[in-house]
Amino acid sequence: MIDYRSWRHTFKLDPDKSVDDESLEAVCESGTDAIIVGGTYGVTFDNTLELMSRIRRHAVPAVLEISSLDAVVPGFDSYLIPLVLNAGNPEWIFAPHVSGLKAYGSYIHWDDIITEGYLIANPEAGVARLTEARALENAAEAKAYAQVATKICRLPIVYVEYSGAYGDPELVRACRVGADEAHLFYGGGIRTPQQAAEMAAIADTVVVGNVIYDDLPAALATVEAVKG
């Protein structure tokens, strides 16, 4: 299994978004610990395969966060499997994984699979609408969700996802307490090195995504802000 516990910084690339070769090289050679490939809409087998093949020109680890069975591509170092803890539609908690195991169970190398307790904290995000995510009332509820992930479900990762909005550090800190020994990922809305450093002081791993496509120099500067 890939050593995700050593990751402090990762970039997330969306197969449905365009990134030129020069920018992709800068991202892959930036010193980030890994590249996560994943997205909510428009993710297909073809565009996932195409992005993976381009990332594979570089030595950085590449992992696929699976959001669609149609976009499961072999060849990644590991596969992140999100369980959406606060999905309002319970079909999004386990049903997709049951379907995936029915289709691909006999081909899975379980050492390559990493499960995440996924907590969607931005109710305006596309993934929140897709899963009909329940809004979090406060930090205490967020902490309880993190405890459900780690103490009841025994998941190794809690992923706090703000997806497009910068998060509330107090809520993330509550998740840090609730996650206890589990590994805490934070992703969403990081646009400056200062924001990256603030979340890195709370979470084990900071995930930087959309700013890659809007302000590449700022995205690259988050690596040093987190790891420096």
Task: Set out the domains of the chain in order of their start, with CATH numbers.
Answer: 4-227 (3.20.20.390)
Q: What is the pLDDT of residue 94?
A: 81
Q: What is the pLDDT of residue 164?
A: 84
Q: What is the pLDDT of residue 145?
A: 96
Q: Which residues of the chain have pLDDT under 50?
A: none
Question: What is the per-residue burial (b if ≥16 Cβ within 10 Å, else e) of 61-78?
Answer: bbbbbbbbeebbbeebbb
On whether the CB atoms of residues 14 and 39 are closer than 8 A, the answer is yes
Q: What is the pLDDT of residue 112?
A: 92
Q: What is the pLDDT of residue 63?
A: 97
On whether the CB atoms of residues 169 and 199 are closer than 8 A, the answer is yes
- The number of residues in the chain equals 228
Q: What is the pLDDT of residue 128?
A: 87
Q: What is the pLDDT of residue 90?
A: 79
What's the pTM?
0.93
87-145 pLDDT tens trace: 988 777 788 888 888 887 888 889 999 999 999 999 888 888 888 889 999 999 999 99
